[in-house]
Structure 1
Amino acid sequence: MGKSPLFFTNLCLRKSLKPVQNTNPQIRIPNRNLSVNRIDGKYEEIGKNSQNPDVVFAQEISKVIQTRPRWEQTLLSDIPGVDFVDPNVYNEVLKQQKNVMLSVRFYYWVRSQNGFLPDPVSCNMIFSRLVEAKAARAAKSFLEETKFEPEPGCLESYIECFFENGLVEEALDVFEQLKLAGQCVSLKTWNSAMLQSVKAKRVDVVWKLYSDMLECGIVGDVDTIGYLVQAFCMENNAAKGHELLRQILEAGHVPSNTVFNKLISAFCKSGNYAKVSALLHTMIAKNCSPDIHTYQEVIHGLCKRRMRHEALRIFNNLKDRGFFPDQVMYTTMIHGLCKMKWLGDARKFWFEMIQKGIIPNEHTYNALINGFWRTGNIVEAEKLYKSMCERGYGETTVSYNTMINGLCSNGKLDVARVLFDQMTEKGIVPDIITYNSLIQGFCKKGKILEGTYLLDQILKQGLQPSTASYTVLIEKLCEAGNVGEAKAFWKDMVDRGVEPAVSAYDSMILGLSEQGNVAEGMQWLGTMLKSRLKPQKKTFERLVQCLSEADRLSDALFVLDYMLKMGFVVSECIFLSLVKKLYPSNSSHVETCFGKILERS
């Protein structure tokens, strides 16, 4: 509990040589043209309406801590005689203080003073304000430092604050603490937590929350089920999500457009456009009209599956039906068309959006620039990049990556390196995509040492290398006959938890075969087949040739048999090379095996 009010008992009064005669002393507040009288145990300002001196002192204290950077060192001397540890004083300061972080500083300062006793009211006030400000880490630190027990309602907001800051594990800890205390949060908090988990793509948390919710006896609503549908979609299980939607609709509930849009996006991803069409009809039948975002998902899906004509038809139909495509919709179309190398249509939409007063953003510029690079139109790519920089969009990692990748793909490594150096000079941080583009560009030009140096820079910068970081290096080292170094990179890749690309296996098998190390090549092939990976046709054929040349005919026939089982058509030259080896032996066993192979082929 806090101390009893002793506001003015310790104030520094001017001393008198004679005994005090005035029973109603007047007190001057420093730095303010204001006096306070004590009359019959109460305080009032002279020349003003009666005012609580707590408020007066709080205003003075607030002014000091708001205007002086290091007020902690001088506050006692700036406002002498105030009993700062009295709860009525510091609580009034906290009430007046708008800046929650200054409130925290003031509270810690008061707590460091002699005579301070914790006050739950002030703790709860600061904690709740930190939560309202979404300062999750500061709220957690304050709670751990003060060790007070917040009100249950405030803890629910605390959970939401953690989720909104992406601190999922911390939020789950609070859930668990409430569960152990026998308290169950409201449905609103459960739904808020599930929504944030969906946004964070933490499907595991969605299912945990739903399980705990059922355990607490809380019955979900249409929003709850909507989050479960979205969780199924994120797990690439649109069929189960669709079944859950059907059950909601049969129960007479209609979820938000977001739920329909996620399902539509999932079915577009798998190419199930019959389900997409059915969902669009369902939305219309349930008076949940598809909006621009719904059609955006459809168009995005069609573009990803290179269904250009269908995407264009829907986009043009939207305009005919009175929809007004926005910046995102135009960018989606331009990006999709550029990936398909349909630059004519992409440029048409570019100028169309500008004519309608829709200003292209950084993503629109980068999409079209990338399209120019893909088609080898270097002049237009550089011209558009210059225009983008003039509009202030060029100073980002994404924009630099678009240019560096395009330059490397088109063999302009010197210019790409200049842009890379510019990034460092301007304080723009390169990411793994930047480094991978340069590694691939240098390696494709045969500059493996430069590629190796860049991979070393990735590790020194503390970045996690990706599959692409290693793949091209392994491929080029194998082509150059340096399989030993390629193996070293492979080991480093696996040790760092990076998944090898299928093409990297092919490169290792080809490299080993070219060196005559067919036995190890067979081992690598076996690893691929056990992992259900499909080697390339050239990998099979070259291994068969090398095995045949090494007189390992049984192994050659074994590999050829697997090749046919996987649906490849064997080249005539492969058969001829085997026949030359097999014919002198004139073995009936070999003729039988070879006959079966020919039948399969």
Structure 2
Amino acid sequence: MGRAPFSVLTILRQNPRNFQNPNTQLRNLSIETKESQQLYTEIAKQVCKITRTKPRWEQTLLSDIPSFNFNDPLFFREFLKQQNNVLLSIHFFQWLHSHYGFSPDLVSCNVLFDSLVEARAFKVAMDFLDSTGFSPNPNSLELYIQCLCESGLIEEAFCAFSKLKEMGVFGSIKTWNSALLGCIKIDRTDLVWKLYHDMIESGIVADVDAETVGYLIQAFCNDGKVTEGYELLRQVLEDGLVPENTAFNKLISRFCEKKNFGRVSELLHTMVARNRAPDNFTYEEVINGLCKSRKRLEAYRVFNDLKERGYVPDTVMYTTVIHGLCKMGWLGDARKMWFEMIHKGLLPNEYTYNSMIHGYCRIDNLEEAKRLHKEMLDKGYGETTVTYNTLIAGLCLHGRTDEAYHLFEEMAQKGIFRDVITYNTLIQGYCKEGKIVNSTKLLGELLALGLQPSASSYTHLIEKLCQVGDVQEAKNLWNEMCNRGLQPRVHTHDCFIIGLCGQGYFVEATEWLIEMLRRKLKPQRKTFERLVQCLSQDNRLDDSLLVLDFMFRIGYALEKAICHSLVTKLCKENSHFVEAFLGDILEGN
């Protein structure tokens, strides 16, 4: 089949005398003349059409438009103007480069580079810079940096920043702010402070705006330095700069974590006074913080107050309140919120469902929890690890570990990932029922799968082993846990001491207690009492008085019956010694 005739070829054939050597003639055409511009435009349109519609055009383009100088920079510039697909443009450039060693002029390079950036084809833009060695103009480079930062490509943005500095250009505050925000998004506050140091060195810090300050406050909060973030806010407010709500929300979130609700209230009032009206995100942080601090009744009150003041809660806020109510066991109020939410046209998401499922599991209404799980699946939400973990935890909480293990196996059959929380929940459940073999098997399976265990993977099993008297196996697990860099909870130390006492290892138990105190860990009162009682019964009276001294220093009082027994024992030995030694202990405390 013959090729369809091109209008460009028609133009050439109609004027054979003028185009006996088209390659030479076209090079000499002036872009200023109407005819030559028309010719370049026509050819560019035809080439654009070919590259868009014809497969393997690279192999046939030279024969489709013979005797034409594709290497002419003026033609390439016109091609870029006509082509609306930047990836096809870069492909055509690569074809030109491979056939002619073509290098576009500076204007064409900038046009092509800007188009790649606008299309967010950053990898291609980087390759283009590397292959051509061309330096974009400063404005193009700044736009490139901003887009890289928005996409989280911070390291590449820093390289582009270096090129900008080599040009002697410091960049606009907008570019610096994009970089600061990009660093915060990937939680690289170390780079935030490096950028800020560079801003100071370049003098750009004099131009910082409320946006810049907001990012610095967020960086302080992410570093756990909420006080420094608050002090920065206070200083800039005095200077008339008011950051956006995001900075206030971050401070509120961190002060909620520290349970400093006085400061939270102050920040809310500051937002109102500075025309930064708290939004749903702000109050979600407040309600979530109150719920996590077990002030769920207060969170419920704040939520109802918001509705009365005209705020329109969204799904996230409803879910936060429902979760808090379920945690308190207020399933009736949670259901009320659930139906109110649906009545307002807000559909529960998988987190809302999981919160309600968790609530029903807590009150041992597993049938309703399973019904909600089925409804959740019917609504199109997939079966997730979180939902299964919630159901397994509910079953284990009420001693139904066999049913929980059935769900555990069902997860594997359905290809649902069983994470460390899944294993830990079952390990704890079996330990509560005294099924140590089952717990040990699950721990071994967890490790064999290459999952990273947590302290909870070990501690429940260690504590149960101490309780049943298998202290040696508990020690083995303790050592294995510590070798993995995991820190046991304080209660596990108490269990070890009581377990050692039960096996008659009183000296070792005393050493464990002293080590706890040296590490500034506070043993439980019953741990002291058990050790004092055992040491006394074993006639280790000096040791029992030493432990008693430690106990009084912490602020505990000895249970009356144990105290009477100890004094009776001591008086039989040496009443004068007892009177003097106990007098010293009591006087010192």
The alignment's TM-score, normalised by the length of structure 1, stands at 0.80
Tell whether 2:186 aligns with 1:203: no
Alignment of 1:165-564 (within 5 A): 165-168=151-154, 171-172=157-158, 175=161, 183-218=169-204, 219=206, 220-564=208-552
Q: Distance in 1 between matches of 2:371 and 2:84?
A: 53
Distance 1:170 1:54, change over 3 A: closer
| Alignment correspondent of 2:34 | none
Deviation track 1:110-142 (CA, whole Å, cap 9, x = no partner) reads 76x565456586877776566555566676677
| Shift of residue 367, structure 1, vs aligned partner | 0.9
Distance 1:468 1:33, change over 3 A: farther
| Alignment correspondent of 2:9 | 36
| Shift of residue 199, structure 1, vs aligned partner | 3.5
* Aligned 8 A contact 1:61 1:93 in 2: no
* Aligned 8 A contact 1:136 1:165 in 2: no
Partner of 2:9: helix, strand, or coil? strand
Q: Distance in 1 between matches of 2:503 and 2:296?
A: 46
Distance 1:75 1:406, change over 3 A: farther
Residue identity in the other structure for 1:563: M
| Shift of residue 31, structure 1, vs aligned partner | 6.9
Distance 1:427 1:251, change over 3 A: same
Distance 1:381 1:157, change over 3 A: same
* Aligned 8 A contact 1:370 1:402 in 2: yes
Corresponding residue to 1:63 among 53, 70, 83: 53
Q: Distance in 1 between matches of 2:234 and 2:217?
A: 11
* Aligned 8 A contact 2:45 2:82 in 1: no
Q: Distance in 2 between matches of 1:141 and 1:451?
A: 54
Distance 1:478 1:285, change over 3 A: same
Between the two proteins, the alignment pairs up a number of residues equal to 561
| Shift of residue 270, structure 1, vs aligned partner | 2.7
Q: Distance in 2 between matches of 1:422 and 1:160?
A: 48
Partner of 1:586: helix, strand, or coil? helix
| Shift of residue 411, structure 1, vs aligned partner | 2.9
| Coordinate RMSD, CA, aligned | 3.8
Partner of 1:36: helix, strand, or coil? helix
Same amino acid, percent of matched pairs: 49
Alignment of 1:153-172 (within 5 A): 153-168=139-154, 171-172=157-158
Q: Which runs of 5+ in 1 are unaligned?
A: 1-27, 44-48, 66-70
Distance 1:105 1:350, change over 3 A: same
| Alignment correspondent of 1:9 | none
| Alignment correspondent of 1:21 | none
Q: Which runs of 5+ in 2 are unaligned?
A: 27-37
Residue identity in the other structure for 2:50: E
Tell whether 2:49 aligns with 1:76: no
The alignment's TM-score, normalised by the length of structure 2, stands at 0.82
Deviation track 1:272-310 (CA, whole Å, cap 9, x = no partner) reads 333333322222222222223322222222222222332
Distance 1:33 1:140, change over 3 A: closer
Deviation track 1:133-173 (CA, whole Å, cap 9, x = no partner) reads 55666766776677665554454455445544445555455
Q: Distance in 2 between matches of 1:425 and 1:109?
A: 52
Residue identity in the other structure for 2:197: S
Q: Distance in 1 between matches of 2:512 and 2:131?
A: 57
* Aligned 8 A contact 2:80 2:112 in 1: no
* Aligned 8 A contact 1:302 1:310 in 2: yes
Distance 1:290 1:466, change over 3 A: same
Partner of 1:61: helix, strand, or coil? helix
Tell whether 2:555 aligns with 1:571: no
Q: Distance in 2 between matches of 1:141 and 1:600?
A: 76
* Aligned 8 A contact 1:458 1:465 in 2: yes
Q: Distance in 1 between matches of 2:94 and 2:409?
A: 46
Deviation track 1:446-466 (CA, whole Å, cap 9, x = no partner) reads 333443443344444443322
* Aligned 8 A contact 1:191 1:223 in 2: yes
* Aligned 8 A contact 1:230 1:263 in 2: yes
| Shift of residue 225, structure 1, vs aligned partner | 1.4
